[in-house]
Structure 1
Amino acid sequence: MSTPNTDLSMSPSAPLKNIIFDFGGVVMDWNPRYFFRDYFNDDEKMEYFLKHIAEDEWNAEQDRGRTLAEGTALQIAKFPEWEKELRAYYDNWTTMLKSDIPQNVEVLRKLEASEYELFGLTNWSAETFPYALENYDFFNAFKGRIVVSGSEKLIKPDPKIWEVLLERYELIPQESVFIDDNPKNIEVAESLGFVTVHTTEDTDLEKELRSLGLNF
């Protein structure tokens, strides 16, 4: 995986005012394996199910705005022999949302107390996102300024969802840092003029942001 973008040639020329967070993989640790590893008790079968039956592309359509019920029904029609497992997917979604990512949430809380404006841009089902809002108080740092793909019927890496964010909150890309764990999303954000930080499990987010000249 690529490392966070700290190339001096990409250093921001405009004063940075806004910090935009992706959520999954940045501040939230979500993985269907947290449920299905115990459910199957067979890693090979679990990986087959997640790659070929409940694949990422299928789940992404729920993030794009398709209802959980419709998505489940469509997949059961395609794979009736997996009905029990497919119904278990969203019935046990909260188990897949294991926890926050403490080191990055700590950075978020520091930013909350700073002069920077905080925003969220997330690929997340409109039906499941409220659970995260209700159970993790750090989301209050965004003061409701969150663009959720499932509500917008748009999903990253479609540039149109960034346009929603920019227009709704009157942001300028060159004044904004975009943080995401998905390289494709980082690539699109950069093409739109955002300063970016690509996070991995090894990323020191505070260090990366300070390297961009942020003081918090």
Structure 2
Amino acid sequence: MTHEVRHIVFDIGKVLVHYDPTIPFKRVIPDDEKRAWFLSEVCSHAWNHEQDRGRPWAEAEAEAIARHPEEAENIRAFRANWHEMVPYAYDDSVALLKVLVEKGHDITMLTNFAPDTFAECRARYPFLESSRGITVSGEVGLVKPDREIFEHHVATFGLEPAATLFIDDTAVNVEGAKLAGWQAVRFTDAETLRRDLAERGIAV
């Protein structure tokens, strides 16, 4: 039996704010094949994940440059051009968030983000201040989908896992939340999320 949802937790990247590292790199590395190689092998998701865990950018750049010294300039371009990777918010998702807050639902956020880039994102998108609070992976040294970050979020905000609904765009993070005893749905678009919420008795 599904528990009543009393807490709603939003991911941020690709749920509320667009994120795409290829945006600046279409300019930095115009060649499609090389750009794809660079973002999969040099400044890869796994490499960036360690910044989400809290690794400083200087250390991250040094590690990547040690592997690919010929790519030093392009490696440094990742952080230097990061602001271009989060160009806009998803207005329809943000509208749902705001309605949920206005209706008095308990809203928090849980995101994989480096501390410094999240500070930039937070300053650019004021709606990120609308929830009761945010767990930022790089600030706590834990990352999704590991169980520990879900448990940390529960302890920080006094949530009941079985009564908590997590919204994330990444399947492995959705599964991580479920393994931690949460309810969870994978975000694809705002209209689908609206239906997912309605199925749990939450009208927006």
> Do they fold alike, i.e. is TM over 0.5?
yes
1:12 counterpart = 2:30: no
Q: 2:58 aligns with which of 69, 75, 79?
A: 69
Q: 2:107 aligns with which of 100, 115, 118?
A: 118
- Residue 49 of structure 2 aligns to a residue whose secondary structure is helix
Between the aligned partners of 2:92 and 2:163, the Cα distance in structure 1 is: 25
Equivalence for 1:79: 68
Q: 2:177 aligns with which of 152, 166, 189?
A: 189
User: Structure 1 length as normaliser, TM-score?
Assistant: 0.90
Q: Deviations over 1:149-207 (max 9, x none)?
A: 00111101110000111111111011111000111111121122211110125852222
- Residue 2 of structure 2 aligns to a residue whose secondary structure is coil
Contact 1:180/1:198, CA 8 A, preserved across alignment? yes
Quickly say closer, same or farther: Cα 1:12–1:115, change in 2 above 3 A: farther
User: Structure 2 length as normaliser, TM-score?
Assistant: 0.95
Q: Deviations over 1:111-142 (max 9, x none)?
A: 11012111111000011101111110111111
Between the aligned partners of 2:120 and 2:9, the Cα distance in structure 1 is: 21
Contact 1:19/1:178, CA 8 A, preserved across alignment? yes
Between the aligned partners of 1:202 and 1:149, the Cα distance in structure 2 is: 24
Contact 1:67/1:127, CA 8 A, preserved across alignment? no
Contact 2:151/2:180, CA 8 A, preserved across alignment? no
Contact 2:92/2:190, CA 8 A, preserved across alignment? no
Q: 1:166 aligns with which of 132, 154, 178?
A: 154
Deviates more, 1:193-202 or 1:102-111: 193-202
Name the amino acid aligned to 1:46.
R
- Residue 87 of structure 2 aligns to a residue whose secondary structure is strand
Quickly say closer, same or farther: Cα 1:81–1:203, change in 2 above 3 A: farther
Between the aligned partners of 2:190 and 2:107, the Cα distance in structure 1 is: 23
Contact 1:68/1:127, CA 8 A, preserved across alignment? no
Between the aligned partners of 1:174 and 1:115, the Cα distance in structure 2 is: 19
- Residue 119 of structure 1 aligns to a residue whose secondary structure is strand
Contact 1:27/1:100, CA 8 A, preserved across alignment? yes
Structure 1 residue ranges without an equivalent (≥5): 1-10
1:46 counterpart = 2:35: yes
Structure 2 residue ranges without an equivalent (≥5): none
Q: 2:116 aligns with which of 127, 146, 161?
A: 127
The share of aligned pairs that are identical, in percent, is: 33
Q: 2:134 aligns with which of 126, 129, 146?
A: 146
User: How many residues end up aligned between the 2 structures?
Assistant: 204
Contact 1:25/1:181, CA 8 A, preserved across alignment? yes
Alignment RMSD, CA only?
1.4
- Residue 65 of structure 1 aligns to a residue whose secondary structure is coil
Contact 1:26/1:104, CA 8 A, preserved across alignment? yes
Contact 2:64/2:75, CA 8 A, preserved across alignment? yes
Q: Shift of residue 38 of structure 1? A: 2.0
